[in-house]
Amino acid sequence: MLVSLYSGVSGLTAHQTKMDIIGNNIANVNTYGFKSSRVTFKDVYYQNLKNATEGTATVGGNNPSQRGYGVNVGTIDTMMSRSGFQTTGNGLDLAIAGEGFFQVQDKVGNKYYTRAGILSVDNYGNLVDANGNFVLGITGDPTGQVASSDKIQLVVPNITDAASSASKTILGSTITISSTDVGEDGNITINFVNGTPPTSTLSGSNLTVTFDQSGDYPTLTSLQAAIDEAIKNGGVTLPAGAINLSVEPTPANTSAAATNYVDFGATPATDRLNVTAGKNGTAGNAISIKYKEIDAPAVASAEWDGDTLVFSLVKTDTYDAAALQTLADAAGVVAGVAAGDTKDLSFTGLTTLVTGTDLAQKPIKLGGGDNTYYENIAGMLGTVKLDGGRTAAEQTVGNLSGIAIGNDGVISAYHNVFGQMTLGRVDLVTFDNPAGLEQSGNSYFIQTSASGDPRLCKPGYDGSGDIVSGSLEMSNVDLAKEFADMITTQRGFQANSRIITTSDEILQELVNLKK
């Protein structure tokens, strides 16, 4: 009788334990990363009332007769099956698409493991979980680094002094225009326009510089001086100092003089007249050579009419390049043409004598004149916007935007000065026997001798799953199963309670026999 009473009590205890586990599972049906538990029972021990005997040819054998002593809880297992994901839209909510655990550490150095990737960044830049514990991995650029278990801190370098600038690639070289002083005051827009006299105006953050863009600028220094003069003449005080020009790489000198030729026969070496402007640059492209026919006894001459050199030549007289050079030089003296000026023309070639009538039939227009690089770019500066000017400033995580974590665990963010930055990596761990981990509350597991040691791994490598950003792993509790188990457990508890009640009634009858 006492055996049946004990069996009933042990049955009640075991079923109560199972009901507790079912209750905990149902309570955590909406706990992210939660892993449900199950209870298995085992019978306790047996008393042999009659031992088994072996049968012979003359005596039959007997099976053992045993009396059981109830039930105990066999195991309480953690079910490590994976569940589905819930999309949250928060880039710092992470799930693991496969095996592995996030690793976290509390303030005294205790390490825990979890599937609940509810992360955030604190004011110090630490990547922390929902309990305020440090998430572990790598700080800084993780390229080429093996998996780690260091605290992750998002570190933003401080801003250093910088002057505003803008660059343009013109004719194969890059010209950079920058302010001399550091700070945001240099972040202005400059409009380079053509005109005279050289001057400038400043309206808010818009500077207009007017200068002769077709002027003579053989060097960068001369172009710089023209711009400086225009700014000075406008009485403009720039908030971030002067405007400086630089070119990289140093351009080749592309200067060329305007030139042309005409042929008067079949032998270019002697029958060709070459005419070249006296100075490199596009100004020579406007020069023309024309001829007037005159009758003898008039004398040949030449004179400048604007950009046209007009020869008056006797129809029947003959001329070569040397003769034309003499007449052109005389015209230059009258017109005040200095040596080396554009109109200081050179006549070469033609050694064959040709008549004035022959020359009159072949006027010349010069072309192909090219300025130096700096004369060319003067007219190509156009509008440039100087930016990037700043003064030194300490930067924190608050200066970042768009913090995101990729499926490889790499943490990136955008900074308005440094652009897209790589700031760290969330690393994972795997275990030989994850079911051997011990649950410690707060959605945490801790290592045990049954689980084995944690193996560090980069997400997606060494058997671990990829990280899914913007999602959280849901609880793996199966409500339908839990409710079914609750019913059978309740019935089991109920049946065991009847054993105790019945045993009590039998004992009562035994007591009553004495009366």
Q: What is the DSSP string of 330-353?
A: HHHHHHTPPTTSTT--EEEE--S-
Specify whether 212 is located in the same domain as 140: no
* C-alpha span between 319 and 351 (Å, rounded): 9
Specify whether 268 is located in the same domain as 364: yes
Find out whether 414 and 91 touch, Cβ atoms under 8 Å.
no
Give one DSSP letter per residue of 76-115, joined into a string: EEE------EEE---TTEEEEESS-EEEEE-TTS-EEEES
Instruction: Output the six-digit token pair for 151.
Output: 């605290």
pTM value surpassing 0.75: no
Burial (CB count within 10 angstroms: exposed 0-12, middle 13-18, buried 19+), residue 221: exposed
Find out whether 429 and 463 touch, Cβ atoms under 8 Å.
no
Specify whether 359 is located in the same domain as 272: yes
* C-alpha span between 218 and 297 (Å, rounded): 47
pLDDT of residue 452: 96
Sequence-distant (6+) residues with CB within 8 A of 376 are 170, 171, 254, 370
In a domain, 216, yes or no: yes
Sequence-distant (6+) residues with CB within 8 A of 484 are none
In a domain, 390, yes or no: no
Specify whether 38 is located in the same domain as 54: yes
* C-alpha span between 136 and 131 (Å, rounded): 14
Domain that holds residue 244: 163-252+376-385
> What is the domain count for the chain?
4
Last residue of a domain, one of 385, 413, 436: 385
**Neighbouring-strand partners of residue 284:** none
Q: Is the pLDDT of residue 496 over 80?
A: no
pLDDT tens, residue by residue, 302-327 = 999 999 999 999 999 999 999 999 99
Helix H or strand E segment including 166: strand 163-170
Task: pLDDT band for 498, please (50, 70, 90 cuts).
Answer: confident
Q: What is the mean pLDDT of residues 211-232?
A: 89
pLDDT of residue 218: 78
In a domain, 417, yes or no: yes
Specify whether 362 is located in the same domain as 280: yes
In our burial notation (b when 16+ CB lie closer than 10 A, e otherwise), range 453-488 reads ebebbbbbeeebbbbbbbbbbbbbbbeeebeebbee
* C-alpha span between 441 and 130 (Å, rounded): 13
* C-alpha span between 474 and 116 (Å, rounded): 9
Specify whether 271 is located in the same domain as 361: yes
Give one DSSP letter per residue of 158-192, joined into a string: PBPPBEEEEEEEETTEEEEEEEEEESGGG--EEEE
Specify whether 110 is located in the same domain as 122: yes
In a domain, 246, yes or no: yes
In a domain, 10, yes or no: yes
Specify whether 358 is located in the same domain as 279: yes
Specify whether 248 is located in the same domain as 263: no
In a domain, 272, yes or no: yes
Q: For residue 494, report the phi and psi dihedrals to the nearest 5 degrees.
A: -60, -45
Separation of CA 88 from chain center:
24
Specify whether 230 is located in the same domain as 335: no
Q: What is the mean pLDDT of residues 374-399?
A: 90
Q: Is the pLDDT of residue 341 over 70?
A: yes
Asked, as a colleague might, if the bond just before 297 is cis with ω within 30 of 0, I would say yes
* C-alpha span between 177 and 192 (Å, rounded): 12
* C-alpha span between 260 and 242 (Å, rounded): 43
Q: Is the pLDDT of residue 515 over 70?
A: no
Angle of the 479-513 helix axis to the 2-27 helix axis, nearest 10: 160
Coil, strand or helix at 254 = coil
Specify whether 449 is located in the same domain as 415: yes
- Read off the DSSP letter of residue 241: -
Specify whether 351 is located in the same domain as 404: no
Task: pLDDT band for 443, please (50, 70, 90 cuts).
Answer: very high
Find out whether 177 and 190 touch, Cβ atoms under 8 Å.
yes
pLDDT of residue 415: 93
